[in-house]
Structure 1
Amino acid sequence: MIKIDEAMKKDVITINKDDTITEAAKKLTENDISGAPVMDGDNIVGILSEGDIMDLLEVHSPNLNLILPSPLDLLEMPLRMKHEYDEVANGIKKASLTIVKDIMVSPVITIKIDKDIADAANIMADNNIKRIPVVDDTGNLIGIITRGDIVKALVNHKAE
């Protein structure tokens, strides 16, 4: 069986619990990752994903009847669209001021390094998650394993 330490990433990008969502989103984007452990000093206190950030943004669609618009619909359309635009802009502004600790998933599910990737895959499936921080016996963060890491390990293992 393939052990976690053979498949995990050891250089873990982390996010501080007191970062703003804007700072966290920038870190995710710059490192081309979709989620990261959230830290309070040396302690893992949560996990943040792009999905958590997206949930902050309430997207509204204008309710327009464009098949056979009435003359009033045509007159009101610019006002409705302006209102919708203002709501989206306010939602983005509110999201950018939010702090990571307010939306992170906590407590975080972790896995120990001595487990194998089947254990990680089962935990991911059972909890509908895409990444698991890897910890040592004292709970210190030493890596992270994602669904992609598991797939890659399986492919590389078959090729050997």
Structure 2
Amino acid sequence: MDWYQKVFELIDMRSFSNLWYWIALAVLWSSASHWVIGVPFDMVTRARRKGGQAVEDLDLIVSINVNRLLYISETAGAGLIGTSAFLLSTLAVLAFYYNVEFAQALIFLLAPMTLVFQLSLRTARRIRAEGIAGPALWRRLMLHRMMVQGIGVVSIFVTSLYGMWQNLHIGVFG
């Protein structure tokens, strides 16, 4: 058996029939809902339960991450938007015009994450503009997390429907 054949059997390029793709999708959304604006969500729950130093730590790390996100958007925002738009549109053309399944799989991973990134920037701007801290900050981060989880649920649902359709289509007609 050829070495390349072994590698391509291990890493099936038909993404939607590959277990590793679905594991990556689950890890991606699990991480996205755990890291709220770059802050681990367990810090939010700890601050709500214990108070004191945990609240100060949460306020400090949120402030640091808000400043970091907003600095990135202010200094490299236009370049990031242009690069992201170019990459996503290139993937979309490869995925749906040329019918490249690997590009389809990447689109279903990356396109919703652009929404999450935009939501994170919006939340960061709101936290800075309103000077949110303490219980109001906890509520804002919990709302942000629920919105990310909502995007994740819709994304996983649409991806699974498309993946099942793709597998049935290839299985019946391919």
Superposed pair shares fold, TM > 0.5: no
TM class by smaller structure: 0.3 to 0.5
Between structure 1 and structure 2, the one with the greater Rg is: 1
